[in-house]
Homo-oligomer: A and B are copies of this chain.
């Protein structure tokens, strides 16, 4: 037996993005309760040379939508990286969820054998679909979602592993 490309990508990204909305909602409630200055949580970094929280959220959405689009042979939808507040970040994740929901399993069929080309800042990544899923899409996606969760947990937001897993 075997798994569809949809099951190994969109069906993983979608619930995780929904969990991310809940986690960011808890961050928003925390910021409101503590009367935090705007931008404090959004600017948190795990290390000085790592991206701030807002960029971690943007990248979480990018790896979900761009990877899915590329595996389906579609042009990835471009969202400008302009979000500054938690509300705007939540809206971006929601917009990504809405786009992800337009993708059907049949659009991703054969994506594992598709030749994927990703323009990066300093080079071009070229891989077949299967290693692209295994070594690029999934690890990068989880990396940025986990970084977002870790930053908020470190800041004292009341999130636990169950929020990350979505109540499994």
Chain A positions within 8 Å of B, measured between CB atoms, are 1-5, 7-8, 11-12, 15-16, 46-47, 50, 109-110, 112-113, 125, 127, 130, 133-136, 138-140, 142-143, 146-147, 149-150, 153-154, 156, 161, 164-166, 168
Contacts and interface: CB of A to CB of B under 8 A. Distances in A.
Contacts of A3: 2-5, 8, 112, 130, 133
B5 A153 contact: no
A149 B140 CA distance: 13
B110 A1 contact: yes
A119 B5 CA distance: 29
A158 to B, nearest CB: 11
Q: Would you call the interface of chain A mostly helix, strand, loop, or mixed?
A: helix
A138 B8 CA distance: 10
A136 B168 contact: yes
Given A3-B2, A3-B130, A150 B112 contact: no
B136 A165 contact: yes
A153 B47 CA distance: 7
Contact of A147 (B2, B50, B125, B150): B150
A140 B8 CA distance: 15
Contacts of A127: 168
